[in-house]
Structure 1
Amino acid sequence: MTISQRDINDLGLEGCTTRPLALSDTSAVFELMAADELESIGMVAIEEADLVSDWQRPSFDLVTQSIGVFDGADLVGYAEVSSGRRATAVVAGDHRGRGVGTALARWTERVSRRDGSGLVGQPVPAGSHGERLLRDLGYEVLWTSWVLEMPQGRTIEPQPIPEGYAIRAAEGDADYRAAHLVVEDAFLEWADREREPYSDFTAQVVERPGFEPWHLRLMTDPSGAVVGTSILQLTGDTGFVSRLAVRRDQRHRGLARALLVDSFERAREHGATRSELSTDSRTGALSLYEKVGMQVTSTWRHWAIDTSRQP
């Protein structure tokens, strides 16, 4: 599904072309997204590895679920839609105001209807040009998310864990599957989506460029069963916890905090000077992270629209 050449011409974008993206486009998309983030939040949060790991998921089809807008050889806009629900779209700063963003938003809505979701949305920085566009197009906020950082030089006070419990690195497929189960069970308590296939989990975690087994931290109970996990991404000077989960019947014992402390310590041992994570309003965890000394560095809002109500 593409934006037609007639659409492009009607929007005054003569000379632009569109096509589905390919894995070879990750660098161009990264540069486009990095420039947008630098303008919107004053820093670059995206990594090219994020795109590679997302695009290599077996459930994601670049041919039918992504599109790029090109002005000559230059990528000036891009969009993708996963599972008919989660979209991402970015437009180059010097091509705003020409209808590219509107065209991409409408494309994501058509893809969502085609794939049977009926609801499509995307996170954008609070107060950004992207947020203003989505509001004008009739989108509504479903939830808010935050990126938090532990101020440089500070650490979280160590958290003792119950006798018999231990934290260790993942050691193979059985551990990866156990971590996947804990994460999905925990996240599906508040996330309105289908269960993530194990193959998608491994594509984003184990097969992510730069992954090492010690990045996947496991909390085990006295029987050796995995009851919690923290997934760490180490890039340059930053250790980022992308997912943190504890089994429901094991909560309120300090296990999540212990996993967080452990992950940040391991990252520092490997050269990280910054410690980050993200959370959103559906989890109710923001105050917990602020209590351990973390500070919000950027705020994002997830804007969505019900495409089933559209003609």
Structure 2
Amino acid sequence: MPGPNVPRLPTGYRSAPVRPADLPEIEALLADCERELTGRPEAGAGRVAADLARPGLVPELDTVVVRDPAGVVAGWAWVDRRSVVRVRPGHRGRGLGAALLDWAETRARQVGAEQITQVVPDADAAAGVLLRSRGYRPRVTEWLLEYRTADGPPTDEPPTDGPPADGAPTDGPSGAPAGLPGVTVRPYREGDGPALHALVQDAFDEWQQRRHAYPEWAAHTVGHPGFAPAATLLALTGGRLLGATVSLHSQSPDEGWIEQLAVHPAHRRRGLARHLLHRTFRAFHALGRPVTTLGTHSATGALDLYLHVGMHVRRSSTVHRKELAHSREPR
């Protein structure tokens, strides 16, 4: 068995595996990191708990929280097929980021991982430089997009400067996409979770590395403490689920977050994705959240859809990957 994997920290800092009592403080650290980059916290409460619910992740071995001499959380990290490392503003430039990267890479090698990834906001130039100096290479671009209903919620009309984003005809007077007669759209109801999970897994099969079991998926969606059922919209025909948005309340009180947009492959390019986005923008507007945000990345090919429905890029990030020497050891 490998010995304990403890990061080598600057003098005065101490580390320990993440415990449930640490979660609120880690959430606050993440919010501070987001405020520094964008001026506001972006994700809602519960994201740390959802990350720790990943199947196969062992908190005692795969997570670490770092505290300063006063006991304040200064950084945290986890690793499980990918890794997240975050250092609180005010504690950077002291070697904490490098120490946590060393810890993550050591743990990844212990379990035989052949590569490790880190996602870094492009505005955090210092973090990008650090990763590249350690052999990480950019692989995929991620974007955070937003839609603002400052002038009222959107209509279902296509953009005036071109055709609908996904090649669809204009929506009909019934409010359903004209290319899909008989489709109805309604908010999430208790019991919809399994069908919604199956739709998302089928829709994401072409680009995600693995299918996610229901408990893991639910921790980030319908079981998340910020789940927004009124803004989670399902498109159905004859009781069959064709597409959906899965939404959360953001930590910013004026924002909603679309965690997932999924349309079954057999029902794409008929205007359904555009229609669901517009309906979700309106749902969040009615909830007093005039800004709707979502994330996407270059592997999905969905950026043009979001730009054509009126969304704008708020910030971008880069997924960096490093190849590791294979050295499998038991957990």
Q: Any unmatched runs of 5+ in structure 1? A: none
State the SS of the aligned residue for 2:73: strand
State the SS of the aligned residue for 1:24: helix
Amino acid corresponding to residue 195 of structure 1 in structure 2: R
Q: What displacement does 1:248 show?
A: 0.5
Stretch of structure 1 that moved more, 49-58 or 164-173: 49-58
Q: What displacement does 1:31 show?
A: 1.9
Aligned partner of 2:5 in structure 1 is 2
Amino acid corresponding to residue 3 of structure 1 in structure 2: V
State the SS of the aligned residue for 1:141: strand
Structure 1 CA distance, aligned partners of 2:299 and 2:118? 15
Structure 2 CA distance, aligned partners of 1:92 and 1:232? 28
Q: What displacement does 1:134 show?
A: 1.0
Aligned partner of 1:115 in structure 2 is 111
Structure 2 CA distance, aligned partners of 1:169 and 1:18? 44
Aligned partner of 2:163 in structure 1 is none
Q: What displacement does 1:290 show?
A: 1.0
| 1:130-174 deviation digits (Å, cap 9, x = unpaired) | 22211121111110011111134254441621211111123233x
Q: Does 1:15 align with 2:12?
A: yes
Aligned partner of 1:231 in structure 2 is 246
State the SS of the aligned residue for 1:265: helix
| Residue 151 of structure 1, aligned match among 148, 151, 155 | 148
After the TM superposition, which residues 254-265 of structure 1 pair with which residues of structure 2 at under 5 Å, given as runs? 254-265=271-282
Structure 2 CA distance, aligned partners of 1:46 and 1:131? 22
State the SS of the aligned residue for 1:95: coil
Q: Does 1:202 align with 2:218?
A: yes
Normalized per residue, the structure richer in helix is 1
Structure 1 CA distance, aligned partners of 2:204 and 2:183? 22
- Judge conservation of contact 1:53–1:207 (CA < 8 Å) in 2: no
| 1:168-227 deviation digits (Å, cap 9, x = unpaired) | 123233x21111111122223112x22111111122212211435334321112x21111
| Residue 165 of structure 1, aligned match among 180, 183, 193 | 183
Aligned partner of 2:100 in structure 1 is 104
Aligned partner of 1:306 in structure 2 is 323
Structure 1 CA distance, aligned partners of 2:220 and 2:141? 23
State the SS of the aligned residue for 1:113: helix
- Judge conservation of contact 1:158–1:258 (CA < 8 Å) in 2: yes
Aligned partner of 1:94 in structure 2 is 90
Q: Any unmatched runs of 5+ in structure 2? A: 158-170, 172-176
Structure 2 CA distance, aligned partners of 1:310 and 1:101? 23
| Residue 132 of structure 1, aligned match among 129, 133, 147 | 129
| 1:98-134 deviation digits (Å, cap 9, x = unpaired) | 2211111121122222334322212111031222211
- Judge conservation of contact 2:85–2:97 (CA < 8 Å) in 1: yes
Count of aligned positions: 300
| Residue 64 of structure 2, aligned match among 67, 82, 95 | 67
> Percent same amino acid among aligned pairs?
31
Structure 2 CA distance, aligned partners of 1:117 and 1:150? 38
Amino acid corresponding to residue 219 of structure 1 in structure 2: A
Amino acid corresponding to residue 76 of structure 1 in structure 2: A
State the SS of the aligned residue for 1:48: coil
- Judge conservation of contact 2:109–2:327 (CA < 8 Å) in 1: no
After the TM superposition, which residues 23-38 of structure 1 pair with which residues of structure 2 at under 5 Å, given as runs? 23-38=20-35
Amino acid corresponding to residue 75 of structure 1 in structure 2: V
Aligned partner of 2:313 in structure 1 is 296
Structure 1 CA distance, aligned partners of 2:43 and 2:280? 20
- Judge conservation of contact 1:150–1:275 (CA < 8 Å) in 2: yes
Cα gap change, 1:59 to 1:172, in 2 (>3 Å): farther
Structure 2 CA distance, aligned partners of 1:152 and 1:265? 8
Stretch of structure 1 that moved more, 203-212 or 279-288: 203-212
State the SS of the aligned residue for 1:45: coil
Aligned partner of 1:217 in structure 2 is 233
Give the TM-score normalised by the residue count of structure 1: 0.89
Aligned partner of 1:52 in structure 2 is 49
Give the TM-score normalised by the residue count of structure 2: 0.84
Amino acid corresponding to residue 231 of structure 1 in structure 2: V
Q: What displacement does 1:41 show?
A: 3.2
Amino acid corresponding to residue 244 of structure 2 in structure 1: T
